[in-house]
Amino acid sequence: MQRIGVFVCWCGSNIAGTVDVAQVAQSAAAMPGVVYAKDYQYMCSEVGQNMIKQAIAEHGLTRVVVASCSPRMHESTFRKTAAAAGLNPYLVEVANIREHCAWIHKDKAEGTKKAIALTRAAVAKATLNAPLVAGESGVEKRALVIGGGIAGLQTALDIADAGYAVDIVEKSPSIGGKMAQIDKTFPTLDCSACILTPKMVDAATHENITLYTYSEVESVSGFVGNFEVAIRQKARSVDAKKCSGCGLCAEKCPSRKAKSEFDEGLRTRGAIYIPFPQAIPNVPVIDRDECTYFKTGKCGLCSKICPASAVSFEQADEVITQRYGAIVVATGFDMIELDKFGEYQYGQHPDVITSLEFERLTNAAGPTGGKFVRPSDHKKPKKVVFVQCVGSRDTSGRGKPYCSKICCMYTAKHAMLIRDKYPDVEASVFYIDVRTPGKNFDEFQRRAVEEYGVQYIKGMVGKIFPEQDKLMVHGVDALSGETVVIDADLVVLASATKAKDDAEALGRMLSISTDTHDFFTEAHPKLRPVESHTAGIFLAGACQGPKDIPETVSQAGAAAAKAIGLLSKKKLVTNPCVTTVNEALCSGCLACEKICPYGAIAAKTIELTNNGVKETRVVAAVNEALCQGCGGCTVACRAGAIDLKGFTNRQIMAEVDAICF
Amino acid sequence: MLLEEKTSQEQAFEPLIVAFCCNWCSYAGADLAGTSRLQYPANVKIIKVPCSCRVNPNFVLRAFQKGADGVVIAGCHPGDCHYSTGNYFTRRRFTLLMNMLDFIGIEKERFTVDWISAAEGSKFAAVMNGVLEKVHKLGPNRKMRDKRWKR
């Protein structure tokens, strides 16, 4: 018979408010095998933990049940407590009477009844718990960072500085990401390129960092400490080793139809191109969909004029397989498409642009060379209207219900920059609310209004009508209740941010979850903000939710610290809850082998003596290093020969029985 | 039967629902429902399993045998399984079990398989409320109940 101790936590008033904890402890004391039951304010506190340790020693407890918060929260705490008292940590069970009981039921009598039932189930399960010993696995001392924007670069630099090898996989031909496209950054008005390019160079020249640009992650397998990743390096059609980066090919390419992704389509580029002057690597890439040679077999001009003979039309995609100990996802964000927002005339009228296009328009290296002119007739606009929350905080289904977080600040920045350079230009901003919670943010926005005279109008724009060379912006001033009409020359839309279109697919590949808007979900919103639910995979930057640059950089540092912590471990403790085969029952049908997603089960021949006759038989054998403990095979087994440690058939049945008591 | 009597009987019926939740999605979804203080009746009792594919049809039958009025299996959304393919097995296995339950006379409505992600606390509460509503309408499960087992 087991000697079970039950510890009921009040969690202050969190549990004690709706559950009669004393009664739970009293009922628990009468449950089979329970020799000690106690309730206490905070079981997770040092005093509470000492109480458990003491009881283990004093009462010779062989099993511990803690009725408290979710095991996802404190199971590991109580396991450590038990281990410190000399009890195998897997002999601890947690009954979740907070999240699954106290917090969802208002009626105290009902809540208490349910808490007792949950505790009874945990006691029943604990009775059958077996001591488990965790195995060990090694850690590959190399990290993978997916995404080469500011988040990825910062993460990679921090990990590399700690002495570990890092590979950056970037989808586009150059690292830099969205930050490279931005002209100035709020609230300091630093030149974005000036603070980013040194980081890009640092990453490119760091001895521990390898860049895979124009590359994508193709498949991921393995587990924490031992991921195996296949990276597809797309054919650049230019030999990076030979290319000197002179740019002659890009200059002479006769095809000029493709729109420059970097300049947000505001100018065209050649079929062979370097995305932007500071691109790293400074090696052109041929866009095979646009290239005349690839389309018709004629041309080949770039190949002829290249002084280094670096152009290689035959180059093929290359798949590189590499092992990693940790993976950081830093894939960033995109802006939403505005095709559902017909009222703003975006796409219909060239002078209605998005904020990111505006960044390029005002950038000295941008399509206009920094001259402030509007796209349609290259005249300087006199009145500029900014519309905030285009698709943000939108519950109509056209946009996104969340706040994109960065728009209030960059719109204030845009308006301020215009008024600073061209005091004769009028700038108006339509807004729902101005949200400026950041260091020096509110001061910045106030400066835009007070010092630079930017006109802020609280209200949304109903419709924009093009009239001759003007854009008539019809809006409502919600404060006065009057309609406002502005004859604008340029309209800038602060479109909402969204997760990358392929975020969900990447999430599936990595088995990390995404929220309803396809942003990656962190393991805990407050306490584990840079970890994913999957061990060894971390998150940095706007792929986890809308973020500005300082937040992204600090999250990148945090993700790097987590990755470094993992890589610095000599050994990792593996999950001991793996399957075992009862060879006496196994018929060797290997139905289990077929369904195992990890290839952890294989046939094994055993020798046995049957009535004095030696014979051999085939049975299933589990590779504990590969088994992840899903338990799918246990159900497939016809003979019931496979069982999952920690979640055995008998344990779950006992829980069912205890709940139905 | 008098209407009043009937209602008093219905009120007296407190169904028992056993819910098997996978550790990675649905159990976390239930935690989120708790953290968000969403209400669903106390009749639902959750058993944690590593993956919905760990649930043996025998567990479901055992629950019905021991007097459960409804059983729920909740896992990650198809394609989102922490173990890549576990919930596909769940889906296939329990489509079969559902047919079998129907065949032996247990109403299909007593048994639910649903996908609830870790971010769907509100869905967790909604599914549980929906299940209870259905089971309330059906009344107590008498078909497979072991008479010797008294709740």
CB atoms A631 and B93 under 8 Å: no
Interacting residues of A42 by C-beta distance below 8 A, sequence separation 6+: A9, A10, A11, A12, A48
Summarised one tens digit per residue, pLDDT across range A144-196 is 999 999 999 999 999 999 999 999 999 999 999 999 999 999 999 999 999 99
Which pair of tokens denotes residue A398? 């056209």
Residue type, A544: Q
How many helices (H) and strands (E) chain B has is answered by 5, 4
DSSP summary character for residue A534: S
CB atoms A103 and B149 under 8 Å: no
- Tell me the average pLDDT across A43-55: 95
Domains of chain B with bracketed CATH: 15-119+128-138 (3.40.50)
Question: What whole-number percentage of chain A has pLDDT above 70?
Answer: 100
Interacting residues of A205 by C-beta distance below 8 A, sequence separation 6+: none
Length of chain B: 151
- Tell me the average pLDDT across A135-139: 89
Interacting residues of A198 by C-beta distance below 8 A, sequence separation 6+: none
pLDDT of amino acid B147:
74
How many Cβ atoms are within 10 Å of A435's Cβ, its own excluded? 20
Which pair of tokens denotes residue A421? 């350079």
pLDDT of amino acid A516:
86
Residue A583 pLDDT more than 60? yes
CB atoms B33 and A634 under 8 Å: no
Q: What distance in Å separates the CA atoms of residue A63 and residue A10, rounded to the nearest whole number?
A: 21
CB atoms B38 and A656 under 8 Å: no
Select from B25, B39, B48, B96 the residue whose CB has the most chain A CBs within 10 Å, as the one to mutate to test that interface.
B48
Residue type, B4: E
Residue A86 pLDDT more than 70? yes
Summarised one tens digit per residue, pLDDT across range A604-618 is 999 988 888 999 999
- Residue B45: phi and psi, rounded to 5, are -120, 130
How many Cβ atoms are within 10 Å of A438's Cβ, its own excluded? 17
Whole-angstrom CA distances from A142 to A135, A156, A167 are 22, 11, 8
What is the number of alpha carbons within 13 Å of residue A473 lying toward its C-beta? 28
Residue of chain B minimizing CA distance to A517: B119
* Regions of chain B with pLDDT less than 70: 1-11, 149-151
Q: Which of A1, A111, A38, A71 is nearest to A647 (CA)?
A: A71
DSSP H or E stretch at residue A3? none
Domains of chain A with bracketed CATH: 4-127 (3.40.50), 142-234+317-332+512-567 (3.50.50.60), 248-305 (no CATH), 338-498 (3.50.50.60), 579-645 (3.30.70.3270)
DSSP summary character for residue A20: -
pLDDT of amino acid B1:
43
Interacting residues of A50 by C-beta distance below 8 A, sequence separation 6+: none
Q: Which of A514, A652, A648 is nearest to B21 (CA)?
A: A652
pLDDT of amino acid B3:
47
pLDDT of amino acid A438:
92
- Tell me the average pLDDT across A105-131: 95
- Residue A248: phi and psi, rounded to 5, are -60, -40
Q: What distance in Å separates the CA atoms of residue A447 and residue A501, rounded to the nearest whole number?
A: 37
Residue type, A141: K
Chain B residue numbers with beta carbons less than 8 Å from the beta carbon of A110 are 42
- Tell me the average pLDDT across A409-431: 96
CA A515, distance to chain mean position in Å, is: 10
Q: What distance in Å separates the CA atoms of residue A106 and residue A88, rounded to the nearest whole number?
A: 37
- Residues 53-82, chain B, touching A (beta carbon < 8 A): 53-59, 62-63, 66-68, 76, 79-82
Interacting residues of A343 by C-beta distance below 8 A, sequence separation 6+: A461, A462, A463, A464
CB atoms A533 and B62 under 8 Å: no
- Residues 91-150, chain B, touching A (beta carbon < 8 A): 93, 117-119, 125, 149
Chain A residue numbers with beta carbons less than 8 Å from the beta carbon of B35 are 99, 103
Residue recorded with tokens 């001895």: A207
Summarised one tens digit per residue, pLDDT across range A503-549 is 999 998 998 888 889 999 898 888 899 999 888 999 999 999 999 99
- Tell me the average pLDDT across A584-593: 94
Q: What distance in Å separates the CA atoms of residue A95 and residue A6, rounded to the nearest whole number?
A: 10
Chain B residue numbers with beta carbons less than 8 Å from the beta carbon of A630 are 50-51, 53-54, 82-83, 86
Decide if B31 touches A, using CB distance below 8 A.
Answer: yes
Residue type, A539: L
Summarised one tens digit per residue, pLDDT across range A146-155 is 999 999 999 9
pLDDT of amino acid A421:
93
Question: Taking the model in full, what pTM does it have?
Answer: 0.83
Q: What distance in Å separates the CA atoms of residue A640 and residue A649, rounded to the nearest whole number?
A: 9
pLDDT of amino acid B79:
78
Q: What distance in Å separates the CA atoms of residue A430 and residue A407, rounded to the nearest whole number?
A: 12
Summarised one tens digit per residue, pLDDT across range B89-118 is 999 999 999 999 999 899 999 999 999 998
> Closest Cα of chain A to B65: distance in Å?
9
Length of chain A: 661
Q: What is the ipTM of this complex?
A: 0.92
A135 pLDDT tier (thresholds 50, 70, 90): confident
Summarised one tens digit per residue, pLDDT across range A322-359 is 999 999 999 999 999 999 999 999 999 999 999 999 99
3-state DSSP call for residue A124?
helix
Chain A residue numbers with beta carbons less than 8 Å from the beta carbon of B85 are 595, 597, 632
CB atoms A513 and B80 under 8 Å: yes
